[in-house]
Structure 1
Amino acid sequence: MTLWFGGDYNPEQWPREVWDEDVRLMRRAGVTVATVGVFSWAQLEPEDGRFEFEWLDDVLGRLHAGGIGVDLATATASPPPWALRGYPDIAPVTADGVRLGGGSRQHYSPHSPSYRRLAGRLVRELAGRYGAHPALVAWHVNNEFGCHVSRCYGEHAAVAFRDWLRARYGTADALNAAWGTAFWSQRYASFDEIEPPRAAPTLLNPTQVLDFDRFSSDALLDLHRAETAILRELSPGVPVTTNFMGPFRGLDYWRWAEEVDLVSDDSYPDPADPDSPATAALGRDLMRSLAGDRPWVLMEQAPSAVNWRLRNAPKPPGGNRVLSMQALARGADGIMYFQWRQAASGAETFHSAMVPHGGPDTRVYREVEALGAELGELGWVERQPVPARVAIVFDWTAWWALEQPSRPTALSYLGIVTDWYRAFWDRSVTVDFVRPGADLSAYSLVVAPVLFAADAAALDGLHAFAASGGTLAVTFQSGVLDESLHVHPSGYLGPLAATLGVRVEEFAPLAGPPGAEPPVIAVDGELGPLTGRWWSEYTHAEGADVLAGFAAGDVAGWPAVTRNTVGAGTAWYVATHPDADGLGRVAGALLATAGVDGVLDRCADGVEAVVRGDATFLLNHRGEQRQVVWRGEELVLGPREVRILT
């Protein structure tokens, strides 16, 4: 593939006389690919079984004549009104038993036989007609799976959940053992007695809830597989993708990434949030990590403002370019948008587009046009690697388990991971994300934050990494439970306790009055004074060196940061969550131990630096100039400047 540049094109919203102008403006802007048909089911099939393709024939023909490739969507993300009316079992059902209606989008249950039949029929018609079309460069399955409805609790879901559980456990006795149903008289005599974790009087069985999370992610993935199978049968050799949504809680993207030919992502950082460049970078690095040796594409972003926040700030001048270049620097082989032409009506009327309401004589279109021209000169970056010597373990099972209500205290998995990521981003250190059990041999430093639920094999892999010479950092609330949410037989941390040289005796979350921010706790030691948030605990150092201890409260004098020699490497344990300054110092100490340097000799607020291939990308996300030092040379970056050094 060549670098993609373009956006989600919805010509059905416009009269045909606009289509010629669209192609002309696309060519002027350097567009190479358009995503077509994402929400066009009602136009493609206006009545049950009656298809109209003439308009799509026309659109694809015009784009091909203009030299623009097509990422053709299967259009299954939004069933038309006739489908919901004629087949009411399509509608998803909430945990409270509410049947969701139409008039929006994603109003379907992945468990509905009617939806699956109708969607499969549509995909077969599309693939049979366009599978060898000369404009076709990729298939785009559905759209943002699970974005609005990632869990359905209806009767079809109940039947499918039971089948999933039978496949996972084999017998009701095995399920009872895994779920711990001896508690609260929950023992099941057969799978037929099991229901989805619907609304209940109080806390639900934690393992039942976790298995329903796993099942729900798998159910949507099964939909994706069903459409993909049709596409591969009728359109062999054409890449297949579906757009992810960054670190989205609803779906286990490690499993999903195995099913696509290229990873694609939708990203909408808030221009009003000064931390959004770092969180956007996290999403880019996660997508690159999910893709592995395959390409990834930024499938959707906004050229300016969105329309769904309470306050919708526009991207400032230069903001679109610097965030686009951030994606390119972090491994993307395409920069795309939602959408090409700004809608004149509907729920996203005020969501910005490449061609805004004001037309081409606007700041937004001029910036798009300039970016297209620039990307046209950067083809040499395609498929170039982004090296990283630091990895963060990222796991959806741990995420789902940590944020259940029946846990030691309320914690944000993504928030804690993001804070650790930010400590490295601020130091111009590139990070990969890895799943539990992954091969870690390419890394010098691995961080496992709040890996709350993990099987013994994953924990053994972390031990092996440290013992073979790596630097390992593990945080509080890691290795507490196994994959079935049972406390490890050897206690908290499981087999990692010996690796870390510590024993956790008791948790002591930092709790304050209801509705108030939790208090903080002082930490002091070799790393200097730190401020801990959210967490403290009673931990014994059993062989590990204590680098910092809690300096206040009931846990005063107990270890807060430890380091243990294990084999040829070291294993650190962090028993609290330091604030940004403290986390930065911990990260700096870890990097020094691991022998990892940042891209920059001296960093500056809001500036990121990334190496891709033989090029170094310097990106200033701030509206003021910044000074950095790169390879001993002091450089001044203008407001929102992007500089590519080779």
Structure 2
Amino acid sequence: MATTNWRLNKLPHLYYGGDYNPEQWPEEVWREDVRLMKKAGVNFVSVGIFSWALLQPKADTYDFAWLDRLMDLMAENGIYVDLATATASPPAWMAVEYPDTLPVNEQGQRLQHGSRQQYSPCSATYRRFCAELVRRLAERYKDHPALLMWHVNNEYGCHVPVCYSEETKAAFQAWLKNRYGTLDELNSRWGTNFWSQRYYDWSQIGLPVRTPTYPNPGQQLDYARFMSDALLECYLNERDILKEITPDVPVMTNFMTSFKPLDYFKWAEHLDVVAWDSYPEVEKGIPYEAAFNHDLMRSLKGGQPFLLMEQATSHVNWRAHNPVKRPGQMRLWSYQAVGRGADGIMFFQWRASRAGAEKFHSALVPHGGEETRVFREVTQLGNELKRLDDLIGSRTPAETAILFDWSNWWALELDSKPSRDVKYIQQALNVYRPLFDANIPVDIACPGADLSKYKLVIAPALYMIAPGVADNLERYVAGGGTLVTTFFSGIVDENDRIHLGLYPAPLRKLLGLSIEEFDPMVPGQTNRIVTTDAAGFRGEFECSVWADVIRLEGAQALAVFRDDFFAGQAAVTRHAFGAGHAYYVGTQPEAAFTARLLARIAEEAGVKPVLETPGGVEASERVGADGSRYLFLLNHNRAESVWVKLPDGRHGDLLTGGVREGQLELAPYGVAILRLGAQSCGVE
């Protein structure tokens, strides 16, 4: 298989455009679309994502004539195409003639046609029809000048992340047999002697549907792994055909924000480019979670630039209330993506639909056409991006990593836990947000990854310690690294079985402590932690959610609990291990404490921020292969202009072509992109 560079020379600019659904409009509108695309600076569109019913009106009938005309029109006008395989929504004839393709919910009901994504990932019939359509598409358009990338399916698992059909059950049994080899091994891993759950034949193993009380957690965890793998098989079923016929055309699918059902680290191995869809809530202000996901998507392939495949120009349609993005907010959030590693900015969708479930979702071309605020902002952004060619392929370096693991996520949030308030994404954001506020760049890494390049590694709620992870963390810290981990870490193995002994058994030596018991707090309950002289700062802070009863075994206390039967005992610790240090936070402190602690730890570890800025101003950096440094400054303040002190020297302004030095004023929602040390950037 050929190695593909997704940054093909066909398009030496940042990608800009969106989902284009010309089948929703008469063909006379297509020419108007092209005119507006050129005006807006659009150079790349996704086509055919939901076109299966038009491409294959009957099981034995295909019609590509309209797509031929559309592809030719794009090529004639210099607009490249991300051609979708159209398999995200099967046509009505498939549901009627082949009901085995439809998914089955936990109650045993077959979901029907009339929405989208109505397919069972394990349906052999569905996969067969996908393969036939994809092969015809690839053969037909393999040499078309408009083809730049393949877009497989769409948002896998968005609506149907699980299925409970008989075909799925048989596939799950086969997956388990392949994973464990023997029933004795499966019974041991799942602990089936508990509650008389032991299996004597593979056919006895069902899917984790509704049971009288808690299902077997090992079964639930493996079912989550299985469904992620089953959906990945659907992707590979199409990807392999595309690679066979067009080995040099990049292939991808679009991921979603912090999406629990799919192990994106595993999936990313099979994508040429990572692309994702971002829809932050407008009213929440600074989009911390979007920034976290930009960093995640960049990290999935070792820092390779990613595509922001979808976002809204203004409002969405699926929330209870859908406020618009304020003037400048769409531009600001787009540049946040670029500053954190995006080489393309795309939207859903090009032209706002007249009918259908998403007709109130915003678009590059609103219902009001080009004489609208949104289209003016779209045009401004598209033409600004043409000035940023020097950024293409540059990377976003980071000396800090947050460890994140999908199996840990699935296991941590299964039933029958000490507290339902321990949510993995929230625990990750609790440590991410102070780093973001301090403008400290962050990668997102697997617990088993090579961590040697990082000065600081943070592992929030690392409940699951799979084989090799404890050794990896010990090597990292012993080699001079700094590790921070938090409560309810080091508890179970990869099958959700307890690591026996005092908690956290596999991390006990590294952390220099043990935990005899933990005390989850009920909603509204709090305690206080008081810092010691070793903390480097003095204060008393609120804590909630959890309290570990810690025994020091070489670690020193940085903070102690004030109240309850464990008053005076360690709440936050530091332990020297080899050439490095391991920190442990045995409760959930208020945000002010976490920010001060991480600031101190980062400073000791030698981690530096991109730039110190006023509150609400985000600073990020990209670095080119030649060492060129590009500084992004984004003012998230909605109503306040701010002054930012710049690094010493004269710096080229990529958006204006001018030179900046000393300090720079950013208007509300203002953006500046500077090439550090450049006398100018030559923009006319």
Instruction: Provide the TM-score with structure 1 as the length reference.
Output: 0.97
SS at match of 1:536: strand
Tell me which amino acid in the other structure corresponds to 1:119. C
SS at match of 1:236: coil
Indicate which of 564, 579, 595 corresponds to 2:575. Answer: 564
Indicate which of 373, 381, 386 corresponds to 1:376. Answer: 386
Q: Is the 8 A contact 1:481 1:492 kept in 2?
A: no
SS at match of 1:342: coil
SS at match of 2:67: helix
**Deviation of the 1:93 alpha carbon:** 1.2
1:299–1:630 Cα change, 3 Å: same
**Structure 1 stretches lacking a partner, 5+ long:** 512-516
Deviates further, 340-349 or 98-107: 98-107
Structure 2 partner of 1:296: 306
Deviates further, 585-594 or 142-151: 585-594
Structure 1 partner of 2:108: 97
State the distance in 1 between where 2:99 and 2:518 align. 49
Structure 1 partner of 2:409: 399
Structure 1 partner of 2:252: 241
Count, aligned residues: 639
**Deviation of the 1:490 alpha carbon:** 4.0
Structure 2 partner of 1:519: 525
1:140-166 CA distance string (max 9 Å, x none): 000000011111111111000000001
State the distance in 2 between where 1:413 and 1:300 align. 25
**Deviation of the 1:640 alpha carbon:** 0.5
Structure 2 partner of 1:349: 359
Tell me which amino acid in the other structure corresponds to 1:200. T
Structure 2 partner of 1:36: 47
SS at match of 1:447: strand
Deviates further, 342-351 or 88-97: 88-97
State the distance in 1 between where 2:494 and 2:105 align. 26
State the distance in 2 between where 1:274 and 1:490 align. 45
1:114-171 CA distance string (max 9 Å, x none): 1111111111111111122111000000000001111111111100000000110000
Structure 2 partner of 1:152: 163
**Deviation of the 1:519 alpha carbon:** 1.7
Indicate which of 78, 81, 93 corresponds to 2:89. Answer: 78
**Deviation of the 1:634 alpha carbon:** 4.7
State the distance in 2 between where 1:600 and 1:494 align. 40
SS at match of 1:237: coil
Q: Does 1:21 align with 2:37?
A: no
Q: Is the 8 A contact 1:599 1:630 kept in 2?
A: no
Q: Is the 8 A contact 1:4 1:334 kept in 2?
A: yes
Structure 2 partner of 1:186: 197
Q: Does 1:573 align with 2:584?
A: yes
Q: Does 1:222 align with 2:233?
A: yes
% identity of equivalent residues: 50
Indicate which of 147, 156, 160 corresponds to 1:136. Answer: 147
Structure 1 partner of 2:397: 387
SS at match of 2:672: strand
**Deviation of the 1:293 alpha carbon:** 4.9
State the distance in 1 between where 2:152 and 2:361 align. 23
SS at match of 1:350: coil
**Deviation of the 1:423 alpha carbon:** 1.1
1:255-298 CA distance string (max 9 Å, x none): 000000000010001111124x2111111000000122533100
State the distance in 2 between where 1:157 and 1:10 align. 33
1:332-374 CA distance string (max 9 Å, x none): 1100000000000000000000000000111111111111111
Q: Is the 8 A contact 1:246 1:286 kept in 2?
A: no
Structure 2 partner of 1:626: 642
Q: Is the 8 A contact 2:303 2:396 kept in 1?
A: no
Q: Which runs of 4+ in 1 moved over 6 A?
A: none
1:254–1:184 Cα change, 3 Å: same
Q: Is the 8 A contact 2:41 2:382 kept in 1?
A: yes
Alignment of 1:259-274 (within 5 A): 259-274=270-285
State the distance in 2 between where 1:216 and 1:59 align. 36
SS at match of 1:7: strand
Structure 2 partner of 1:281: 291
Alignment of 1:432-451 (within 5 A): 432-451=443-462
1:627–1:579 Cα change, 3 Å: farther
Indicate which of 427, 434, 442 corresponds to 1:423. Answer: 434
Structure 1 partner of 2:600: 589
1:23-68 CA distance string (max 9 Å, x none): 1111111111110000000010111120110000000000110100
Structure 2 partner of 1:315: 325
Tell me which amino acid in the other structure corresponds to 2:209. R
Structure 2 partner of 1:510: 521
Indicate which of 507, 510, 524 corresponds to 1:496. Answer: 507
1:17–1:148 Cα change, 3 Å: same
SS at match of 1:189: coil
Q: Does 1:638 align with 2:667?
A: yes
Structure 1 partner of 2:349: 339
SS at match of 2:401: strand
**Deviation of the 1:436 alpha carbon:** 1.4
Q: Is the 8 A contact 1:600 1:628 kept in 2?
A: no
**Deviation of the 1:579 alpha carbon:** 1.8
Q: Is the 8 A contact 2:252 2:274 kept in 1?
A: yes
**Structure 2 stretches lacking a partner, 5+ long:** 1-6, 624-628, 649-661, 676-684
Q: Is the 8 A contact 1:394 1:436 kept in 2?
A: yes
1:478–1:186 Cα change, 3 Å: same
Q: Is the 8 A contact 1:534 1:576 kept in 2?
A: yes
State the distance in 2 between where 1:562 and 1:173 align. 41
State the distance in 1 between where 2:168 and 2:566 align. 47
Q: Is the 8 A contact 2:465 2:506 kept in 1?
A: no
Q: Is the 8 A contact 1:540 1:559 kept in 2?
A: yes
Root-mean-square deviation (Å): 1.2
Tell me which amino acid in the other structure corresponds to 1:626. V
State the distance in 1 between where 2:427 and 2:50 align. 36
Structure 1 partner of 2:653: none
Indicate which of 201, 217, 224 corresponds to 1:213. Answer: 224
SS at match of 1:128: helix
SS at match of 2:527: strand
Structure 2 partner of 1:169: 180
Q: Is the 8 A contact 1:145 1:244 kept in 2?
A: yes
Q: Does 1:56 align with 2:85?
A: no
State the distance in 2 between where 1:620 and 1:493 align. 42
State the distance in 1 between where 2:335 and 2:391 align. 11
State the distance in 2 between where 1:96 and 1:533 align. 37
1:461–1:145 Cα change, 3 Å: same
State the distance in 1 between where 2:616 and 2:323 align. 18
SS at match of 2:290: helix
Indicate which of 10, 14, 17 corresponds to 1:6. Answer: 17
SS at match of 2:598: helix
SS at match of 1:254: helix
Q: Is the 8 A contact 1:469 1:570 kept in 2?
A: yes
Indicate which of 459, 475, 484 corresponds to 2:470. Answer: 459
State the distance in 2 between where 1:405 and 1:499 align. 29
Q: Is the 8 A contact 2:305 2:395 kept in 1?
A: no
Tell me which amino acid in the other structure corresponds to 1:486. R
State the distance in 2 between where 1:499 and 1:629 align. 41
Q: Is the 8 A contact 1:8 1:34 kept in 2?
A: yes
Indicate which of 619, 622, 627 corresponds to 1:612. Answer: 622
